[in-house]
Amino acid sequence: MENKQVMKKTFGIMTAITMVVGTVIGSGIFFKPQAIYTATGGKPGLGMIAWLITGLVSIAAALTFAEIAILIPKTGGMVEYLSKVFGERVGYLAGWMQVVLALPAMAAGLAVIFADQVTLLTGNNVTIPVAIFVLIFVVILNCMSSKVGGGVQVVFTICKLVPLVLIIVFGFIKGSGTNTVFTPMVGEGLSPITVLGTLMVAILFAFEGWTNVGAIAGEMKNPGRDLPIAIVGGVSVITAIYFIINLAYLWVIPADQLAATSAPATLVARHIFGDFGSILITIGIMISCFGTCNGFLMSGSRVTYAMAEGGKLPFFKFLSKLNKTQTPANSIIFTGALSCIFALTGQYNLLTDLGVFSSWIFYTLTFVAVIVYRNQRPDIKRSYKVPLYPIIPILAIISGIFVVLNQFITATMLSLGSVIITIIGLPVYIYMNKKHMSNS
């Protein structure tokens, strides 16, 4: 009998938490305030409230997601959950979407925004070559071993908190505090309900990535204990950080000026620390983007590995191979290559919007799966249960549907492209099943 390769269980609670915090806190908190205050007509109130509302929605989603992540702690994450509850076809499409679209697009988007900052600092348009270099470098680090990749995640998560802490502390010390924060809600002629939908879609990108910790569950030492702490605790901490730093932004710069700049955090830093200080903060933002890129590429490669190892990528069996350090190097290289292709667009917003819409279709199905699995397998002992069941899962489901429909209405062509690429996975799945039947 052939010996099956097994990835080492090297990830502890610190890596799991930093996977959540490090993957989520990336570029959104530094760049999305422009889109938020543009949508509110340069007024702060609804923007600040939207950060809280979206944070609570994300916590509800995290509380729901954690239950099924603990019950099925396998490398591959959402693919395994949906396959178990709704059948292999649905799980396959979720995996296909993550492998060929969402995760490499998100990694590429983070590399592009990193490269945009290099362009800003040097004055030379080097976005695409620098983005590709960053992705190749991240691939090399992760191919060394899972321990190295996890170590990079821990170190860069700690480093990325530095500019956040500096802006928060010195923003409140040096800021005038005379700008309005919670009033007025929106500009004249704008509907708060309509604007809130736009704001939530923008802010959800800033929260994107907390589900990725489920993809490394198979390499965690104690997933039953560590997953709920990492997911729920991580998202709660992130919600608090986001609200406080946005308060600090407004303490220094009014909302209408934040809406008028493509780099709000850099503008705030310049007011606080001067030109040299703003350069240091920009470098800190680059570190943040690098760490987030590492997180998306790490989790994306694990989904690819899980799909290939389960025979779900018939044309790419080599992706199921591990190297001498028991690391899925081939899958890491494959995910990195796809990310490089996406990075050729040089379009940060396009890539991140594509990733968010694609992911939230299957996030919502995962929330539904928690309720369905409760009914399918009530006999299974659950070490963790969603609190206030079924209210919290229903809230997560409604929020997911709202996000998907809103994005489809406001960005129809982008959404259609995502759906088409996902559906292409169906003929691959059919071929895979036919090949399996012919060999059996």
| Residue range(s) defining the domain that contains residue 204 | 13-435
Per-residue pLDDT in tens (0 to 9) along the chain, 440 residues = 344 455 566 666 676 676 677 667 766 788 788 889 999 999 999 999 999 999 888 888 888 888 888 788 776 678 888 999 999 899 999 989 988 998 899 899 989 989 988 988 888 889 999 999 999 999 998 888 666 666 666 676 677 778 888 889 999 998 888 888 888 899 888 888 878 877 887 788 788 766 655 555 566 677 667 777 777 777 888 888 899 999 999 999 999 999 988 778 888 988 998 888 888 888 888 888 887 888 788 878 888 888 888 777 777 778 878 878 778 889 999 999 999 999 999 988 788 888 888 888 999 999 999 999 999 998 888 877 888 899 999 999 998 898 888 888 878 888 899 999 999 999 988 887 776 666 65
- Does residue 5 sit within a domain? no
- Does residue 6 sit within a domain? no
Distance of CA 305 to the CA centre of its chain: 19
Instruction: Return the pLDDT at 373.
Output: 94
- Does residue 241 sit within a domain? yes
Domain count, the chain: 1
- Does residue 2 sit within a domain? no
- Does residue 8 sit within a domain? no
The CATH code of the domain that includes 311 is 1.20.1740.10
Q: Is the pTM of this model over 0.85?
A: no
Instruction: Return the pLDDT at 193.
Output: 81
Rounded distance, CA 53 to CA 48, Å?
A: 9
- Does residue 49 sit within a domain? yes
Instruction: Return the pLDDT at 194.
Output: 78
Asked whether 139 and 384 are in contact (CB, 8 A), the reply is: no
- Does residue 87 sit within a domain? yes
Instruction: Tell me how far CA of residue 397 lies from CA of 60, 361, 366, 369, in angstroms.
Output: 9, 10, 9, 10
Instruction: Return the pLDDT at 1.
Output: 38
- Does residue 341 sit within a domain? yes
Asked whether 96 and 428 are in contact (CB, 8 A), the reply is: yes
